[in-house]
Amino acid sequence: MRKRSCAVVVLLVPLSIAPARAGTGPEPKEEIRSPAFRQNWSILSSVAEAEPNNTCSTAEFLGCGNTLQPASIGAMTPRDTDWVAFDANAGDIITFGTEADGTSGQVGDTRIDLFWSGCATQLASDDDSGAGLYSLISICAPFTGRYYGRIAAFGNETGAYQAFVTCVPASAPNDRCDVARSIPCGSINLTGSTAGACDDYTLPTGPLSCTGFRADGCDVAYLLDVAAGDSLWLDYTQTTTDGSLYVITDCLDPQGTCRVGADATLAGETERIRYRFPATGRYYLILDSFAAGTGGPWAATGELTCRVVQGRGLTWGGVKTIYR
């Protein structure tokens, strides 16, 4: 299960795409990214860089919500690197990045890395996702504990910079399968937003994906307890992003257990699935989007049609649905 963050919601705008030729598979998806995300870091506390901080073991504790400022990459051999540390809870959306600290004498181009477990495990790395040639990482924290950030110049550059880190709990109440909301038999009329969710679940690109494309956006989960022969139809529209939806049986293996999925349209258009469940059991409906870091308001309408099964509890709405 791969972890990417949706704290930094980056608007992706679809380019004009030529129709796919027969026999070539799904048409490619091409998108461009908007300018880099920028918060008002002036509301955070400034922590001055304190040397030595050029190894993981000497990392300076920065803490979530603070800015490393003033800070600089110096001229030295081996090349200068600055390390910071902070604590986060599992499921927090971590945003770690750099930017200029003034208009002159700036390092100009940074690269950053994020580590866990005493720097033994690298979680993410970035070069130019921030403003200009500065760096930005945003991920969902996979564990509770201490994290470490490494800051360096891209090449031999030296000069001033500032670094920042925030840790914000994911705001979607059904962000993961273990807190998935149940969908009962009957009509479905749901609305919400994936903007405050993590990217907990993903699909690969190409023929190994049950949608034909990757699903790297923010996602939320719904629970379906069904019997063999029950059926689901659902229309799902992501207002501002390229939506993707799929039904899985194991949230630790979305690719291997995906039963049905859809990603045939682009941003603002409707995806549709129609599926009859072949076996009794628990399924998960994942509402997702195509591109990394994307999420936003969505609406889903449809129906979960349930057969009458002896010993199975049905609501009055479910009974009415069966006899429509």
- What letter does residue 290 receive in the DSSP assignment? S
Q: How far apart are CA 192 and CA 202, in angstroms?
A: 19
Q: For domain 171-306, give the fold.
A: Jelly Rolls (2.60.120)
Backbone torsions φ then ψ of 76, nearest 5 degrees: -160, 165
The answer to whether the beta carbons of residues 242 and 290 sit under 8 Å apart is yes
Determine whether domain 44-169 maps to CATH 2.30.40.10: no
What would the pLDDT profile of 134-165 be if each residue is shown by its tens digit? 999 988 898 899 999 999 999 899 999 999 99
Each of the 324 residues of the chain gets a pLDDT tens digit; together they read 333 446 443 333 333 333 333 344 455 655 434 334 444 444 578 999 999 999 999 999 999 999 999 999 999 888 899 999 999 998 888 999 999 998 899 999 999 999 998 898 999 999 998 999 999 998 889 889 999 999 999 989 999 999 999 999 888 889 999 999 999 999 999 999 998 899 899 999 999 999 999 999 999 999 999 999 999 999 999 999 999 999 999 999 999 999 999 999 999 999 999 999 999 999 999 999 998 878 999 999 999 999 875 455 555 455 544 455
CA distance linking residue 296 with residue 284, whole number of Å: 20
Burial class (CB in 10 A: 0-12, 13-18, 19+), 46: middle
Instruction: Enter the pTM of the model.
Output: 0.68
Q: What is the pLDDT of residues 120-142, one digit of tens each?
A: 899 999 999 899 999 999 888 98
CA diameter of the chain = 78
Which residues of the chain form CATH 2.60.120.380? 44-169, 171-306
**How many CB atoms are located within 10 Å of the residue 88 CB?**
24
